[in-house]
Structure 1
Amino acid sequence: MNDSESGKRGIFGKKDPAMPPESSRDWRLIEKLVMSLQSEQRRSRRWGIFFKVLTFGYLFALLFVIRSPIDGVDTVTGQHTALVELNGPISAEELASADNLVSSLRAAFEAEDSKAVVLRINSPGGSPVQSGYVYDEIRRLRQEYPGKKIYAVISDVGASGAYYIAAAADEIYANRASLVGSIGVVAGGFGFTELMEKLGVERRLYTAGDNKAFLDPFTPERDEEVDFWQSVLENTHEQFIAAVKAGRGDRLADDERLFSGLVWSGEQALELGLIDGLGSASWVARELVGEEELVDYSRGLSPFQKFVEQLGVSFGEGVATRLLDARMELR
């Protein structure tokens, strides 16, 4: 038996059957598939570890943000002018709520090193209730701290409820192009009765009390309801006018248009006695208070709230609020 013949025999002295070419290709494909699966498993494990580390890092960062202090006052280095910001719509759900503004104003007045307080305003107005709370608190703080003045400084706009609050200050300043005033009250909504008739929709509302469905937008208006609501608006308007007169006194010009709801430029407002002069917050601090350094006592969003707002949640919530809300506002 020669080597070539012995090489073709198996371990039992029998010849191994020759592997057909198709079977060889199948084994190579299986081998490649197994190697590919192993590689995919290793890749999946690496990505799994990466995402686990990323998740833990995110959770730790979120925990750090939540535990961070909600409010922070600028570093105080001695005598300074306290600053409180009033930005945006005045509402219990907004940053410019009475709770936030009152707590900021109290901190500014209570600070031993604050020589005066500047309330910097950029707001179109809002809730008469929230505005009234802040107005009353400013008047109270002025009595409690008679040696510490508060100046209202209007930047772009200080209208309606924002001007209501400003009227409580010792003095009011604005830019020549600022929008000031709008001393009036507005409330609005929608009526859908004709649309419902066209669509064939029937309103079914059950109440106990003759006026429980007061000004319901899905039923026709009733003259007595409109008259009553108008009396509420006029009463609120009178409260607004009384507050402005109490705050501004003899500085107001004798002009019947003052309380008509019109808005004025800063220069016009100066002529009408709605403001005391033209100037910015830094100008007031430097020229009137004598302490140029402004220290911000405003209560702002917590880091977590800022994080949520950046995700767009606040935007969606704000759109929904404005579409569905029909509250009475000072503007």
Structure 2
Amino acid sequence: MPDLWKSPESQGDEGRNDEDRKSWKLLEKTLLASVQEQRRARRWGIFFKLLTFAYLFGLLALFTPLLDFDGSAKRGTSHTALVELQGVIADREPASADNLVKGLREAFEDANTKAVVLRINSPGGSPVQSGYVYDEIRRLRGEHPDIKLYAVIADLGASGAYYIASAADEIYADKASLVGSIGVTAAGYGFVGTMEKLGVERRLYTSGEHKAFLDPFSPQKPDETAFWQGVLNTTHQQFIAMVKQGRGDRLKDKEHPELFSGLVWTGEQAKALGLVDGLGSASYVAREVVGEKELVDFTVQESPFDRFSKRIGTSMAERLALWMGLQGPTLR
């Protein structure tokens, strides 16, 4: 309402100022709304770009193992086939018997394979998985007598990995590689003392006198300990027999009985002991021993989807059992 004490001119100026302020506020709100809308648009743009990138990356990761940029193009010519043995030898792992056997079969059965190189970098693992691969190598060598298989040890070729290597025609290693560890181990934990200190009572119900002999929460019994040691000794003797079968007279075990004690040696020492035949890399063997320097990779490559599925398929109970020591013998 106009002030009666002010002149009409003053009232007119004040009215115009009010209108100007309203106009500026309206303009300010409009600009602010525009800026906020632009910010929202940018955020959604970034979100959709990231989503698209993640989708494309996922597709690339899923299908890249199925695309052979190197191998298929070269399999039409004479080559040295390569199969990788990397990591722990165990079921549902990259170095599982299924994966290794599949790669070896494809390598041997390829018409242009001149020889096969099994490149090893592994601490060992399951005696069962190692035995499967050992037997398959012997079988493939019998079916394809003109194709030799060379095991090449990189950083480490121990226990189950050496078990497999001993099935090869020849073994090569670097002078500083670690080779051997022909032994068996089975580790666990004992929580009996801890439970007593905490005042926890163990309640275990079984059917069978020795059903719980690997239970880490129960005291060990001398007869069960002796039994388990017998299992390990039997597995160890099986390991030794397979190594002797594969290496034959090349082993210097009579002069060095500690070969089967679980110790490891450098590649240079291993050569003197008859554990390996020579020193060199995979490319050296392909070039100098086989006479075909072109290496073609036949290693089975699992897709990320397959690896994820296998991880999901492994139950929590199984992982917990392994952590608690409820596991079988391991060649390490």
The question of a shared fold, defined as TM-score above 0.5 by the shorter chain, is answered with yes
Cα separation, 2, equivalents of 1:219 and 1:20: 93
Cα separation, 2, equivalents of 1:31 and 1:244: 87
Aligned to 1:128: 127
Shift of 1:305: 6.9
Matched residue type, 2:50: L
Aligned to 1:154: 153
Aligned to 2:271: 270
Cα separation, 1, equivalents of 2:88 and 2:273: 25
Shift of 1:292: 1.4
Structure 2 segments unaligned to the other structure (5+ residues): 1-6
Cα separation, 1, equivalents of 2:324 and 2:64: 33
The Cα offsets for residues 151-191 of structure 1, whole Å up to 9 and x where unpaired, read as 11112111100000001001111122221111100000111
Q: How many residues align?
A: 310
Aligned to 2:4: none
Asked whether the equivalents of residues 122 and 154 of structure 1 are also in contact (C-alpha less than 8 Å), the reply is: yes
Cα separation, 2, equivalents of 1:278 and 1:228: 41
Determine helix, strand or coil for the equivalent of 1:197. helix
Asked whether the equivalents of residues 192 and 219 of structure 2 are also in contact (C-alpha less than 8 Å), the reply is: yes
Determine helix, strand or coil for the equivalent of 1:82. strand
Determine helix, strand or coil for the equivalent of 2:117. strand
Asked whether the equivalents of residues 123 and 158 of structure 1 are also in contact (C-alpha less than 8 Å), the reply is: yes
Aligned to 1:142: 141
The Cα offsets for residues 231-287 of structure 1, whole Å up to 9 and x where unpaired, read as 110111011011001101111111321111111122222222111122222221122
Matched residue type, 1:208: S
Determine helix, strand or coil for the equivalent of 1:125. coil
Cα separation, 1, equivalents of 2:42 and 2:150: 61
| Counterparts of residues 1-331 of structure 1 (less than 5 Å) | 32-33=28-29, 35-70=31-66, 72=68, 74=71, 75-76=73-74, 78-253=77-252, 254=254, 255-302=256-303, 324=323, 326=325, 327=327, 328-331=329-332
- Classify 1:90/1:31 alpha carbon distance in 2 versus 1 (closer, same or farther; 3 Å): same
Matched residue type, 1:294: L
Structure 1 segments unaligned to the other structure (5+ residues): 1-6, 10-14
Matched residue type, 1:284: V
- Classify 1:25/1:225 alpha carbon distance in 2 versus 1 (closer, same or farther; 3 Å): farther
Using structure 2 for the length normalisation, give the TM-score: 0.82
Kindly name which structure, 1 or 2, has the bigger radius of gyration based on alpha carbons. Answer: 1
Cα separation, 2, equivalents of 1:292 and 1:236: 39
Shift of 1:30: 7.2
Question: How much identity, in percent, do the aligned residues show?
Answer: 56
Using structure 1 for the length normalisation, give the TM-score: 0.83
RMSD between superposed Cα atoms in Å = 3.2
The Cα offsets for residues 270-326 of structure 1, whole Å up to 9 and x where unpaired, read as 2221111222222211222111111111123426579x8xxxx9xxx9xx7898264
Cα separation, 2, equivalents of 1:162 and 1:65: 29
Cα separation, 1, equivalents of 2:63 and 2:296: 24
Shift of 1:52: 2.5
Matched residue type, 1:159: A
